[in-house]
Amino acid sequence: MNNFRLGLIDYPPWYYLKEDGSAGGILARYFQQLFYFILDKWNVTFVRVPGSEKMNCNDGVCNGWLANLQKGEIDFAIGRYVTLDEMENIGMNLSLVSLMKEEPCFLANVQNVQVNFLKPGFFDFIYTFQTSFWFYLMLLSFFILALNGIVLKLQENYLYIDTFWPQFGYLLGQNFIVSSSIQRKGFFLVFLAGQLLVTKIMSASLRTGLVQRSEYVQLDSFADVIRHNFPVFTSQVNPCSMSWRKSEDKLARKLWNAATKKVLKNSSLLELAELLNYGYVFLSTLKACQAMKGYVCQVRVSDTENNAFLRVSEKPIIHVKYGFLINKLNLEGRNEIIVNGLYSASEFGLISSKLLEDLFIKLQVPVTPPASCMAMKDLEAKVHVVPISMGYFTIPLLIFITGTGFSFLAFICVHLLEMCKRYYRVGKVGLVCTHCDQSKV
């Protein structure tokens, strides 16, 4: 049985195998079986291949995983292609075959994460109530005040009530008459409940805005990232990142110099999750954006459809064109790869088949989070404050102004009515002063 050495480049820790090639990661055995059938029942051995910041073959000697390929240590590598403009020159034993494939690169940033309060205070306790709770509280307060008003009106006409139902009039007079002081307290409670409700709505809106990280910020260009001062990180072995590094665009160069370079394979799950959780913008293909969900497998997204917490730019920033590097001395391995469907030959070169595309998706996006993610279950997500368009404050601000204004007017009206009742009473002969000397009237 032929042996096929497959290099895994910069994949998450749970993919990796033991040094002897045996299954060490949770998905390793699945990969072995998958490649076993795809490569016509070859004996597939996985090899961990190091990435490199700059992959080239100066003076005919390659670095990074290209060196592994050049030395014949691997037959094929999964994880990335070679961009056509990436190689300054081709090293010994290697030949570059053009691959008829072009892929757009998109900007992406974290959209939604779960927020945990480390030390919840009094207001955090208030915010834990559902918004409907405050609506019900206000309705109950208004109902009590309305009932009190009805009772006061009935009190003025208790003789009429006594005529038909003396006992009911007696009960109203003895048990349900509320003093002016209690009325003022009742209206104050309504006002307080209204303010808490408005605060709850504003808090939920603003907090959602902070967590969603720029819902109203258009992220379509490098200029957008610079304008809104988003932090940026990049994986140096990502084909989009390498094309970005080679870009002559001034804004792209400015952003590249300010970006945090990160080699994902050297990061633990906790570091990867924390890195993305802080809202860094990164540049990659759509498939790689989907794969990022696997990196931060445990960091739950809240209130988002399909757990899609990555916001991708509306249009691609740059495009990458791919090539295919082979070892000239390993013709048998190259032919087997083509014959068994990973690549198909054409008059223009090699075209990646749907089988290979499906394979990449299976490799990059696991169906369920790996068991190693369980170590992250207590990860405390933090909110990273980023600039938000002032338009986001419009609705909660209007709610706050309207609620405060109506509450203030209601409070003033009640106070004026109480003053009128205190100094005047309505009699059969008209308005009568209740605190004047009646002999002088």
- Average pLDDT of 112-127? 41
Residues 6+ away with beta carbon under 8 Å from 378? none
Which tens digit of pLDDT belongs to each residue from 61-108?
887 778 888 888 888 776 556 676 666 677 888 877 777 677 888 888
- Average pLDDT of 390-397? 50
Supply the CATH classification number for the domain 3-101+321-364. 3.40.190
Structure tokens at 432: 């009568």
Q: Tell me if residue 193 falls in helix, strand or coil.
A: helix
Structure tokens at 34: 């998958």
The owner of tokens 């307290």 is: 185
Which tens digit of pLDDT belongs to each residue from 216-257?
456 788 888 887 777 788 876 677 887 888 888 899 999 999
pLDDT at 49 over 60: yes
Residues 6+ away with beta carbon under 8 Å from 7? 47, 48, 49, 65, 68, 69, 73, 74, 76, 77, 78, 79
CA dist list (Å): 34 to 75, 180, 356, 359: 17, 80, 12, 9
Residue 169 to residue 366: CA distance in whole angstroms: 73
What pLDDT, on a 0 to 100 scale, did the predictor assign at position 372? 46
Residue 146 to residue 127: CA distance in whole angstroms: 28
Q: Rounded to two decimals, what is the model's pTM?
A: 0.49
Residue 70 to residue 258: CA distance in whole angstroms: 33
- Among the listed residues 70, 64, 16, 74, the one whose alpha carbon sits nearest the alpha carbon of residue 44: 74
pLDDT at 391 over 50: no
Q: Which residue has the higher pLDDT, 308 or 261?
A: 261
DSSP state, residue 232:
B
Residue 100 to residue 423: CA distance in whole angstroms: 92
Q: What is the chain's mean pLDDT, rounded?
A: 63
| Residue 7 and residue 16 in contact, taking contact as beta carbons nearer than 8 Å | no
Where are the domains positioned within the chain?
3-101+321-364, 122-212+393-440
